């Protein structure tokens, strides 16, 4: 609980990324002026005010079950984990143990908000405050009218709590159109590997992956 | 202490403290060890938020915060808010609005509100909802708690709030509810979320009252908002042992052997109980009036377990940690047996036989796991079906819902100085417990005293012997005080739930009149049959009386499965059955092209009509004839139609084609007021020498506000303000008998007893006053405004009379006891309206608004009554939308945490508006009926009706998980 004093703005690295200490409270991010709006929204949606105060960034980040939509937002926002050794690892790769950085994880690095970056969030749940059955966060970097990169992270459709889909890479270099989104959403639905439970069968989760991916990407068209 | 010892310094409520804590100790436990008892625990997983305290001004979950991490910081708990006995404005606001019902979550709510208002003195209702969403409340429906926070903000800004008052409409002669014009906010045309005061519409012939009907603040509110240690959860006794329960990991298994030697040898362990060393006394654990409805299929510990979470052994040890260690040392040799989770499978030949023991009697067909088969019929059902123009059939399913009262089951037992066993417990039924525990522990009932302190919610789950017999036996065996407390996980696995039901209706219609109906209920009672018979009988009666065809047949099979047992749950079978009847009635109306409101209105039970099945279906026995004597249901419906703009919306919504579609639904419901011919309550009122009164009642206030409304009834009769009536409940030694808090009986039955006792005391007061006036008779004397007034204008105050009667002349104790029983159970009724939005692509249903107009007879206290309705509606909304105990193939729960189970949080809840249309039920105290369970019944049919209006599909299986709705829409397409 020894959270640093409230920071009005998050410090930045030499490359302009925002550097958040792992022991900072989640509420620090909500209150900081330069936290990307997507992450603020994901935090408020995933955690109560109490949780945001008593849970630190690293715990919430390294235990995606604590807030699946938060984890998805971090994935889609291309977050990185930094270590006391100085190593840096992509969040998604670290969660999947695809990288083996030295030292202990110390905090996260997040990209600052940028004009060319658009995002969307879509989910289905029993109620507004319930953990999503399926949740999707899409982040699209535009270059002019074309998509430079598109990242779509989903929860509730993998064995893991949250992961990135590969299919959105298809959007790179293309215009973000309804047709393109529909194709990518269908490809995402084919790509996901859901586990059923009482809240959703495999079929349902796959169908929701398509519907909600399209929703989230469509929000990126209009932002 | 957990972990290494660490010395910390911190400031708690302004005082510096130097404490030694374990480095793994949580702040919650450390604060409670230091007697900051306002800090409550409602779960083991950080999900409920009721343990919220402020650390350096920020709200945190003290159960998730290590004590060592607050070293050097400031901690504020609810104890630190009031100054010199003056409530903080936030506490005042919670008192004024009825924001504290059972009060167990109230400190967490208050502290969160404090943090919010410190930062934002003028929050919007949306900001309040977002900020308060971290604290679960199971009683209020959040309407009054949101109101409290907004009101507190106004107070802190120095604005005059005034007491919360209902909006009242007193109809004049010739006026009807159609003459009532609700203010614009009640139409919610702007989709605002603001909490609105309840509305009370009073007919012209209603006798006037003073205290009854007033929005009095709860008599226990102050201690609740101060966070005082008033619950069994807060009770500790010097030298006590800690009891703990070992439970089954198997859904069905025989215990071949138990080796407790290692546990018994552990220093500090004082007793270990298993089937080997406790008497095998067959019983039923439901707290019900004797003769207890069968079957007697339970023993304290058995050599067979029948569900995951079933009792295996208990220990008493000197610390909780030692008790847990002892449990781990008990070696149990199980022979796993085939198990069955589904009730339909359980009835098939060859299914595992759950109760194969020879000493359980009263099971209808043990080989098919059918514990009860119930049949009741009136008229000639087959002939009526043969003559019907149309016959409709429908099958519906309702889920197994857990109560999730925030105070867990907690029991303490000890021997008193007279060698009598005291059971201090969180119960709804202290008198039943006394009788039930005695034979299990080898005592006479007279050797047992049961004390019920404040209760942190029950909803039926504390109408049951859950811990009391084991705790008592541990004290009997050890001679020492013992305390037992369930964890949230144990609440899910080892207590009770509602009965999941398969509900099949067959309805015959001639023209537009329902002439025949048949209801078949399959009730899954789980591993034991407690309440199984009576819940289904109530379901049959209520489920076939609302539209009351003269030809009606009820058939039910109550079935054992290897799930945790069911029991009493607010609504008690009526919620499940009426859901089915309401929906099939709308399905019929649709198919016949009839207006659903008119069709239901034409067929609904009306004043003067008998409830045909009432004589056949009592609770566990034959019932009594019942005619409907009062009903404001038609008026309730008219108000609701107007306030929701029902017809215009329904018409518009039926034409939608887009992805997001709105819908509006409607349902009638009715319940009962106590169990006719069975429930009995008594009350004693004593007049002190200062002219004030002491009311003792056996009735158990479990957060409902019953202490308050019973005191209001006494005050009304005795001509005094509420503050002159001190209430005490309940203690089997010192308060008169009451069946307990269940069956919506307290206002009607216990209130009847209080009124009678008050009338007796009044008579004594007037007689004594006549002596003082030197009159031959008390005739013509009037008791009001704390005095007795003679016809000639002379008067004596109650102080004068109290002093004289106690100390000065013809001395006597003015005091009376009265009992009350009723052979009728007048039904309160409600018209419920739900508005929803359905995402037809995902199946997600969002309830946007809920409106209830209810006839509960006289509204004794509009604020507490509204709180009952709002809370009941929201609990029922969980039943409709999210709450279901789900089991895997091994009989283990898939969602045994609050987070996974998901009761509604503040931000899940729609605005809930409540209008009371009063009627004067002559058999009830001052015309009152009941309210608590009625509130559960309307949400399911109204929301399902709204989803149908939005989408055209009927989703007959609850909860309305998005996938279920999505599939129904796809199947229709």
The residues of chain B scoring below 50 in pLDDT are: none
pLDDT in the model for residue B621: 87
Spatial separation of the C-alpha atoms in residues B806 and B802, rounded to whole Å: 6
3-state secondary structure of B960: coil
pLDDT band at A222 (very low <50, low <70, confident <90, very high): confident
Asked if this assembly's ipTM is beyond 0.85, the reply is: yes
Six-digit token pair at B972?
């229709």
What are the distances in angstroms from CA B193 to CA A12, A214, B872?
A: 40, 30, 19
3-state secondary structure of B952: coil
Find the closest chain B residue to A214 by CA distance.
B841
Whether residue A145 lies within 8 A of chain B, CB to CB, comes out as: no
Q: Which residue has the tokens 């004290």?
A: B475
∠ Cα B563 B564 B567 (to 5°): 120
**B60, B841, B967 ranked by CB distance to A50: nearest:** B60
For B466-550, strand residue ranges (E) read 482-485, 501-510, 513-526
Put simply, the answer to whether B961 touches A126 (Cβ < 8 Å) is yes
pLDDT in the model for residue A1: 41
3-state secondary structure of B437: helix
∠ Cα B958 B877 B658 (to 5°): 75
Strand partners, A143: A146
Spatial separation of the C-alpha atoms in residues A84 and A111, rounded to whole Å: 20
Q: Contact, B967 vs B843, CB < 8 A?
A: yes
pLDDT in the model for residue A2: 44
Six-digit token pair at A24?
């900072």
Strand partners, B521: B503, B556
Q: Name the residue among B885, B851, B881 with its Cα closest to residue B869.
A: B851
DSSP string, A145-214: TEEEEEEEEEESSSSSSEEE-SGGGGGTTSB--HHHHHHHHHHHHHH-----BTTB-HHHHHHHHHHHHH
Shortest distance between the Cα of B894 and any Cα of chain A, in A, equals 8
Shortest distance between the Cα of B565 and any Cα of chain A, in A, equals 21
Put simply, the answer to whether A130 touches B882 (Cβ < 8 Å) is yes
Cβ neighbourhood burial of B1 (10 Å; 0-12, 13-18, 19+)? middle
**A49, A199, A208 ranked by CB distance to B961: nearest:** A199
Six-digit token pair at A56?
């630190």
Put simply, the answer to whether A48 touches B49 (Cβ < 8 Å) is yes
pLDDT band at A4 (very low <50, low <70, confident <90, very high): very low
Helix, strand, coil distribution of chain A in percent, nearest 5: 40, 25, 40
Task: Inform me whether the pLDDT recorded for A122 exceeds 60.
Answer: yes
Whether residue A59 lies within 8 A of chain B, CB to CB, comes out as: no
Choose, out of A6, A126, A195, the residue to mutate when testing the contact with B (most B CBs < 10 Å): A126
3-state secondary structure of B512: coil
Choose, out of B955, B963, B967, B968, the residue to mutate when testing the contact with A (most A CBs < 10 Å): B963
Task: Inform me whether the pLDDT recorded for A6 exceeds 60.
Answer: no
**B69, B841, B967 ranked by CB distance to A211: nearest:** B841
Q: Contact, B577 vs B539, CB < 8 A?
A: yes
What are the distances in angstroms from CA B402 to CA A133, B14, B321, B524, B565?
A: 21, 40, 28, 14, 11
Shortest distance between the Cα of B229 and any Cα of chain A, in A, equals 24
Sign of the torsion angle spanned by Cα atoms B320, B321, B326, B330: positive
| Orientation angle between helical segments B125-132 and B106-119, nearest 10 degrees | 130
What are the distances in angstroms from CA B101 to CA B253, B262, B411, B866, B967?
A: 41, 45, 21, 11, 39
Q: Contact, B926 vs B209, CB < 8 A?
A: yes
Domains of chain B: residue spans and CATH: 5-80 (3.10.20.30), 165-204+629-672+824-973 (3.30.365.10), 232-337+408-494 (3.90.1170.50), 362-401+497-627 (3.30.365.10), 680-821 (3.30.365.10)
Average pLDDT of span A61-76: 97
For strand B74-76 and strand B253-259, is the pairing parallel, antiparallel, or unpaired? unpaired
pLDDT in the model for residue B361: 87
Put simply, the answer to whether A212 touches B962 (Cβ < 8 Å) is no
**A2, A49, A204 ranked by CB distance to B69: nearest:** A2
What are the distances in angstroms from CA B270 to CA B161, B247, B300, B416?
A: 57, 19, 19, 19
Spatial separation of the C-alpha atoms in residues A123 and A114, rounded to whole Å: 24
pLDDT in the model for residue B681: 97
**B46, B846, B963 ranked by CB distance to A200: nearest:** B963
Spatial separation of the C-alpha atoms in residues B162 and B176, rounded to whole Å: 30
Q: For residue B211, give every residue at least 6 positions away whose Cβ sits within 8 Å of its Cβ, in sequence order, or none.
A: B712, B715, B716, B720, B721, B722
Whether residue A5 lies within 8 A of chain B, CB to CB, comes out as: no
Continuous segment of H or E residues that includes residue B89? helix B89-97
Spatial separation of the C-alpha atoms in residues B234 and B224, rounded to whole Å: 13
Q: For residue A222, give every residue at least 6 positions away whose Cβ sits within 8 Å of its Cβ, in sequence order, or none.
A: none
For strand B845-855 and strand B912-917, is the pairing parallel, antiparallel, or unpaired? parallel
Domains of chain A: residue spans and CATH: 18-110 (no CATH), 117-222 (3.30.390.50)
For B107-159, strand residue ranges (E) read none
Q: Name the residue among B641, B663, B647 with its Cα closest to residue B836.
A: B663
**A27, A44, A54 ranked by CB distance to B65: nearest:** A54
Put simply, the answer to whether B894 touches A197 (Cβ < 8 Å) is yes
What does the CA dihedral B171, B173, B178, B184 come to, rounded to 10 degrees?
Answer: -30
For strand B74-76 and strand B5-12, is the pairing parallel, antiparallel, or unpaired? parallel
Put simply, the answer to whether A54 touches B899 (Cβ < 8 Å) is no
Chain A residues 37-56 with a CB less than 8 Å from chain B: 44, 48-51, 53-55
Whole-model pTM over 0.95:
yes
Shortest distance between the Cα of B884 and any Cα of chain A, in A, equals 10
Chain B residues closer than 8 Å to A56 by CB: none
Q: Which residue has the tokens 């969002």?
A: B846
Question: What does the buried/exposed string (b/e) look like for B880-915 if buried means 16 or more CB atoms within 10 Å of the residue's CB?
Answer: bbbbbbbbeeebebebbbbebbbbbbbbbbbbbbbb
Chain A residues closer than 8 Å to B899 by CB: 131
Put simply, the answer to whether B59 touches A27 (Cβ < 8 Å) is no
Shortest distance between the Cα of B966 and any Cα of chain A, in A, equals 9
Chain B residues closer than 8 Å to A67 by CB: none
Chain A residues closer than 8 Å to B129 by CB: none
Find the closest chain A residue to B134 by CA distance.
A48
Residue B249 backbone phi and psi in degrees, to 5: -90, -5
Six-digit token pair at A135?
């949740």
For strand B52-55 and strand A88-90, is the pairing parallel, antiparallel, or unpaired? unpaired
pLDDT in the model for residue B19: 98
Q: What is the pLDDT of residues B123-148, one digit of tens each?
A: 999 999 999 999 999 999 999 999 99
Other beta carbons within 10 angstroms of residue B479's beta carbon come to 10
Find the closest chain A residue to B841 by CA distance.
A211
Find the closest chain A residue to B69 by CA distance.
A1
Find the closest chain A residue to B893 by CA distance.
A198
Q: What is the pLDDT of residues B803-832, one digit of tens each?
A: 999 999 999 999 999 999 999 999 999 999
Put simply, the answer to whether B60 touches A1 (Cβ < 8 Å) is yes
Put simply, the answer to whether B844 touches A124 (Cβ < 8 Å) is yes
Put simply, the answer to whether A54 touches B131 (Cβ < 8 Å) is no
Whether residue A124 lies within 8 A of chain B, CB to CB, comes out as: yes
């Amino acid at each position: 609980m020894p959270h640093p004093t409230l920071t009005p703005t998050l410090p930045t690295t030499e490359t302009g990324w925002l550097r958040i200490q792992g022991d900072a409270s989640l509420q620090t991010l909500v209150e900081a002026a330069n936290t990307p709006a997507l992450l603020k929204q994901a935090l408020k949606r995933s955690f109560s005010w109490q949780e945001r105060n008593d849970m630190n960034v690293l715990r919430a980040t390294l235990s995606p079950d604590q807030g699946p939509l938060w984890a998805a937002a971090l994935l889609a926002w291309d977050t990185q984990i930094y270590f006391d050794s100085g190593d840096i690892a992509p969040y998604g790769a670290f969660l999947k143990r695809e990288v083996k950085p030295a030292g202990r994880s110390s905090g996260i690095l997040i990209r600052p908000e940028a004009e060319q970056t658009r995002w969307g969030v879509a989910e289905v749940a029993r109620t507004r405050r319930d953990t999503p059955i399926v949740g999707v966060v899409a982040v699209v970097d535009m270059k002019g009218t074309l998509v430079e990169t598109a990242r779509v992270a989903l929860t509730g459709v993998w064995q893991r709590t949250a992961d990135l889909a590969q299919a959105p890479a298809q959007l790179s270099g293309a215009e973000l159109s309804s047709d393109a989104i529909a194709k990518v959403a269908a490809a995402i639905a084919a790509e996901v590997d859901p586990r059923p439970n009482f809240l959703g069968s495999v079929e349902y989760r796959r169908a929701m992956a398509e519907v909600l991916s399209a929703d989230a990407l469509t929000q990126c068209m209009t932002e | 202490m957990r972990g290494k010892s660490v010395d910390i310094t911190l400031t708690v409520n302004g005082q510096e403290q130097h404490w030694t804590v374990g480095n793994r100790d949580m702040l919650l436990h450390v604060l409670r060890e230091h007697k900051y008892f306002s800090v409550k625990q409602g779960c083991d997983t950080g999900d409920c938020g009721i343990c919220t305290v402020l650390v350096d001004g920020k709200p945190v979950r003290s159960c998730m915060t290590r004590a060592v991490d607050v070293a050097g910081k400031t901690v504020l708990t609810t104890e630190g808010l009031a100054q010199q006995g003056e409530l903080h404005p936030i506490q005042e606001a919670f008192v004024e609005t009825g924001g504290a019902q059972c009060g167990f979550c109230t400190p967490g709510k208050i502290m969160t509100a404090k943090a919010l208002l410190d930062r934002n003195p003028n929050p919007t209702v949306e900001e309040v909802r977002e900020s308060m969403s971290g604290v679960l409340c199971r009683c209020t429906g959040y309407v009054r708690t949101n109101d409290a926070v907004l009101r507190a903000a106004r107070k802190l800004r120095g604005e005059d709030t005034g007491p919360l008052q209902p909006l009242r409409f007193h109809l004049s002669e010739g006026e009807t509810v159609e003459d009532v014009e609700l203010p614009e906010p009640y139409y919610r045309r702007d989709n605002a979320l603001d909490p609105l005061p309840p509305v009370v519409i009073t007919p012209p012939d209603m006798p006037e009252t003073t205290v009854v009907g007033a929005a009095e603040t709860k008599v226990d509110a102050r201690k609740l908002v101060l966070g005082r240690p008033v619950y069994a959860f807060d009770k500790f006794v010097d030298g006590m042992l800690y009891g703990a329960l070992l439970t089954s990991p198997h859904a069905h298994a025989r215990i071949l052997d138990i080796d407790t030697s290692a546990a018994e040898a552990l220093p500090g362990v004082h007793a270990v109980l298993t089937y080997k060393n406790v008497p095998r006394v067959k019983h039923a654990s439901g707290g019900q009036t004797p003769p207890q409805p069968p079957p007697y299929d339970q023993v304290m510990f058995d050599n067979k377990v029948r569900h995951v979470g079933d009792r295996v052994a208990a220990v008493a040890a000197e610390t909780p940690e030692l008790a847990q260690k002892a449990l781990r040392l008990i070696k149990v040799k199980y022979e796993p047996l085939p198990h069955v989770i589904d009730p339909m499978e359980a009835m098939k030949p060859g299914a595992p036989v759950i109760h194969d023991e020879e000493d359980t009697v009263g099971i209808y067909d043990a080989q098919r796991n059918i514990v009860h088969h119930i049949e009741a019929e009136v008229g000639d059902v087959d002939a009526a079906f043969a003559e019907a123009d149309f016959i409709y059939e429908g099958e519906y399913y309702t889920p197994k819902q857990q109560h999730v009262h925030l105070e867990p089951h907690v029991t303490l037992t000890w021997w008193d100085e007279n060698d009598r066993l005291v059971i201090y417990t969180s119960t709804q039924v202290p008198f039943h417990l006394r009788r039930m525990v005695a034979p299990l522990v080898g005592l006479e009932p007279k050797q047992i005293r049961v004390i019920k302190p404040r209760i942190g919610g029950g909803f039926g789950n504390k109408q049951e012997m859950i811990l009391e017999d084991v705790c008592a036996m541990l004290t009997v065996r050890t001679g020492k005080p013992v305390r037992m407390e369930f964890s949230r996980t144990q609440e899910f696995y080892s207590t009770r739930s509602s009965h999941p039901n398969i509900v099949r209706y067959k309805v015959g219609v001639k023209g537009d009149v329902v002439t025949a109906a048949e209801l078949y209920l399959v009730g899954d009672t789980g591993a034991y049959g407690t309440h199984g018979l009576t819940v289904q009988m109530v379901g049959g009666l209520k489920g076939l009386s609302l539209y009351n065809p003269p030809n009606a047949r009820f058939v039910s099979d109550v079935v054992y499965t290897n799930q945790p047992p069911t029991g009493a749950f607010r609504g008690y079978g009526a919620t499940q059955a009426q859901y089915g009847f309401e929906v099939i009635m709308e399905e019929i109306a649709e198919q016949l092209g009839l207006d659903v409101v008119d069709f239901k209105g034409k067929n609904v039970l009306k004043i003067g009509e008998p409830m045909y099945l009432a004589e056949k279906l009592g609770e566990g026995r034959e019932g009594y004839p019942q005619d409907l004597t009062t009903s404001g249901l038609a008026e309730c419906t008219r108000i609701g139609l107007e306030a929701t703009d029902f017809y215009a919306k329904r018409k518009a919504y039926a034409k939608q084609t887009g992805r997001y579609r709105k819908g509006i639904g409607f349902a009638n419901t009715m319940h009962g007021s106590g169990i006719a011919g069975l429930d009995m309550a008594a009350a004693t009122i004593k007049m002190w020498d200062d002219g004030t009164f002491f009311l003792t009642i056996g009735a158990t206030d479990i957060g409902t506000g019953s202490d308050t409304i019973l005191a209001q009834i006494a005050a009304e009769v005795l001509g005094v303000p509420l503050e002159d009536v001190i209430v005490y409940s309940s203690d089997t030694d010192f308060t008169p008998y009451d069946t307990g808090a269940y069956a919506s009986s307290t206002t009607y039955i216990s209130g009847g007893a209080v009124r009678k006792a008050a009338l007796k005391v009044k008579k004594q007061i007037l007689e004594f006053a006549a002596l003082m006036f030197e009159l031959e008779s008390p005739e013509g004397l009037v008791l009001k405004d704390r005095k007795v007034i003679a016809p000639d204008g002379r008067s004596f105050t109650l102080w004068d009379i109290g002093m004289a009667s106690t100390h000065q002349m013809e001395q006597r104790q003015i005091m009376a006891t009265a009992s009350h029983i009723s052979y009728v159970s007048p039904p309160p009724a409600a018209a419920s309206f739900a508005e929803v939005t359905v995402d037809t692509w995902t199946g997600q249903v969002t309830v946007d608004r809920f409106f209830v107009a209810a006839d509960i007879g006289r509204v004794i206290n509009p604020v507490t009554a509204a709180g009952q309705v709002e809370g009941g509606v929201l609990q029922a909304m969980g039943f409709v939308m999210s709450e279901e105990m789900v089991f895997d193939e091994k009989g283990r729960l898939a969602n045994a945490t609050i987070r996974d189970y998901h009761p509604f949080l503040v931000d899940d809840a729609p605005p809930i508006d409540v209008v009371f249309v009063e009627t004067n039920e002559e058999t009830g105290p001052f015309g009152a009926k009941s309210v608590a369970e009625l509130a559960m019944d309307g949400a399911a049919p109204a929301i399902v009706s709204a989803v149908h209006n939005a989408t055209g599909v009927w989703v007959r299986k609850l909860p309305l998980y998005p996938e279920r709705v999505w599939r129904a829409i796809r199947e229709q397409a």
